[in-house]
Each structure stands twice: as C-alpha cells, then as structure tokens.
Amino acid sequence: MKNYIFVGCDSHEEILVNKFAHNDGPMEMKKCSAKRAGRQKMIEYFTEQSRRAGGAQVVVVYEASAHGFILCDQLRAAGFICHVLAPTKIERSSKQKRNKNDERDAERLLDIVRGHYLAGTKLPAVWVPDAQTRDDREPVRARQDLSEKLTIVKTQMQMLLKRHGLEKPEEVGNNWTKRHRQWVEALSQEGPPIQLGMRQALKTLLRQLQFLEQEIEQIDEAMRELANTARRKPIVDALMSEKGVGLTTALKYATDIGDFPRFRRGRQIGAFFGLAPSSNESGENNDRKGHITREGSPSARQILCQATWSRVQHDPQEREVYQRLVAKNPKKKKIALVACMRRLAVRLWHIGLEAQLRMEAAG
C-alpha cells in the first residue's frame, strides 16, 4: 500500500480549512490563513506531517474558484500533489446542500480524494493551465470587459436622450456612426435644446465613451502583439482563416483551450464550452435531452455566438445549415443557433489541433 497524507482544503478569501488523514486513518483539522504567509505555514505543517508518517506523499485537493491557481502552484512547487476540482461536477445530496459549512466541505473533499486514490473512484479534476497560458488569457478578458463597459455607456446615453424626448434626425442615420456621434457631441455644447443637468450627464458619458475607445485601441494592439508571438501565431492564423473568426475570437478560443491535444474528440469540445444538451434518463424513461449544460466559460459562449452570427450572415453554406435547422423547429431558432455554435467550436478545435501538431513537429 502506498503511503499518503490526503488533504481536503476548503479555500476562501481569508482562510483555508483543511481536513486531512494519513491513508485510511482518522480525520484531523488544520486551519491556515489564505495569505501567502499562511499558505507557506500550511506547506510547512504538512511537510512535517509527511516526515512523521515516514515520508508520505501529500495529496491536496480544493475547488476551483475566482482565486485562480496560485495555491496549486505553491503546493506543487513544494513537492505536493495538488488537484483542483470542478465544483459543478462534485455530486452533493439535497441534505448536503442544505447543511453546508467550511468543515463539512473540507471533509467532503477529503472523502473524494481518498476514495480516488484508495478505491479508484472518479476524481472531478479540472485541467490546470501553465502560467504562460494563464497570462495570455488576461488581455482577452480585458478586451471583453472593455467591450461590455462600452455597451453599457452607449445604452446609458441612449436612455438619457430618450428620457428627455430627444430623437435623432433622419439624416443622422444609424446609431454610433460618425454622423450620429457628431450629433450627440453637438447636443452636449452650451445652449438649447437641453438643460444644464442633462448636458453635464451627457458630457460625462461622452468622456467615458472616449476613454473606453482609447483603452480598446491599446488592448487591441497588445492582442495583436500576442497573436504574433511564436507560441500563438500558427494557431491564431489557422483559426482566423475561418469565416467569422476574428482576432478576439481566435485568441479567446486558443487561450481557453490551451492545449488542443488534451481533448480526444469533438464531443468533448461541446461539453467543455457548455454547449452539450443535458440528459434526463431514469428507469423506463427514454433519454430526454434538455437545455444545454452551460458549463464552462460564459464569455467563451458569447464570443462563439457572435462569430456564429457573422458566419450565418456571410457564409452561404453556414446560412443553409442554420436555415435547415430552423425549418425543423421554427418557433425555437435558438436551438439552431446553439447547434451552429457547437459546429463552429468543434471545427475550430480540429483546425487548432492540426496547427499545434504541425508547430510541435517543426520544433
């Protein structure tokens, strides 16, 4: 029998609640601060426990969260085995969901990792990207965040004009064209038809709009530089060869996937992006498909949705597929859109996989 110390860590902003055990022995508890110094004390404590247990391998699990993988990096650097678990894939009974606290969560995590190592049960672990992949994701996230903020400011501006009964002249044309922007800026100047309070609010929104546009230009330049690096260029260029796939979509897809060969088939891609239908089968009931699982990154689905609409509008072949799917269920066009999104996600995986394998073969 191998020698292990298993640790279930319930990670929070300020505290780490650890339930641990030596092999199949009784559970104990150790609490540490979640700060860097506290994490180091945790490592020192379990290193000492390992020494007392005859050099037992320390295995730590915790749930993925917005805190990232800093704890995992630190534990692995200390020689521990660390698994990060997917919270959505940890099965919990209704009673466990109602009676939930830090200690019970840590105990549940300990049971999962101990069952995996000692009894071969499934471990719902997530893939931990390397530090470079995580860093490459940040400009894409910043770009999406800026786009959302820009949309909010534009909506606020439209609502402001609407509240005061100001309608754009017909010669202005569509919203946010050059003429429309000039008309809005002219309204913010001194004089009628708007009063002081509204003028001040409009000027504030225009300054925010200008600032966000400048920030987008700068982050776009940073993304172009990232796309031209040796580690990204072959894959990004290959992905952008598809209609409807621009720089943001290609970088978002490539950095979210990270390592293309870690997936074995296209079906896993649909599940990774949360585009696979849920299943409800029990007893004599046939397998009934429900809504998509919506697991994975919502921002990735948003990017895929935008790219899919672009393909439907500009690619006759993709438009034909979409229309054929809509014809099967005209009242639920969203089903057709999701199907096309899944098709695009799988197609991009095949393209990216081929590009990565060529890049690795070339050295």
Note whether residue 257 is domain-resident. Answer: yes
pLDDT, position 41: 96
Note whether residue 193 is domain-resident. Answer: yes
- 356 and 239 in a single domain? The answer is yes
Instruction: Supply the CATH number for residue 39's domain.
Output: 3.30.420.40
pLDDT, position 294: 86
- 155 and 75 in a single domain? The answer is no
Note whether residue 126 is domain-resident. Answer: no
- pLDDT single digits (tens) 168-227: 998 989 999 999 999 999 988 877 778 889 999 999 999 999 999 999 999 999 999 999
Note whether residue 28 is domain-resident. Answer: yes
- 82 and 171 in a single domain? The answer is no
Q: Treating both helix axes as pointing N-terminal to C-terminal, what angle do 316-328 and 298-314 enclose, rounded to 10 degrees?
A: 110
pLDDT, position 288: 60
pLDDT, position 66: 82
pTM higher than 0.85: yes
Q: Pick from 181, 197, 227: which residue ends a domain?
A: 227
CA atoms within 13 A on the CB side of 35: 2
Note whether residue 323 is domain-resident. Answer: yes
Instruction: Tell me which residue of 357, 358, 360, 355 sits closest to 236, measured CA to CA.
Output: 355
- 71 and 170 in a single domain? The answer is no
- 210 and 240 in a single domain? The answer is no
- 102 and 181 in a single domain? The answer is no
pLDDT, position 283: 57
How many domains does the structure of the chain reveal?
3
**Which regions of the chain are under pLDDT 50?**
none
- 33 and 105 in a single domain? The answer is yes
- 354 and 267 in a single domain? The answer is yes
Q: Pick from 184, 201, 227: which residue ends a domain?
A: 227
- 244 and 280 in a single domain? The answer is yes
pLDDT, position 284: 57
- 150 and 79 in a single domain? The answer is no
- 54 and 74 in a single domain? The answer is yes
315/308 Cα distance (integer angstroms): 10
Note whether residue 60 is domain-resident. Answer: yes
pLDDT, position 94: 73
Note whether residue 125 is domain-resident. Answer: no
- 314 and 341 in a single domain? The answer is yes
Note whether residue 22 is domain-resident. Answer: yes
Q: Pick from 227, 242, 274: which residue ends a domain?
A: 227
Q: Which residue range is the domain that position 214 belongs to?
A: 131-227
Strand partners, 83: 61
User: Which string of b and e fits 103-134 if b means at least 16 CB within 10 Å?
Assistant: eebbbbbbbbbbebbeeeeeebbeebbeeebb
Residue-averaged pLDDT of the chain: 92
131/129 Cα distance (integer angstroms): 7
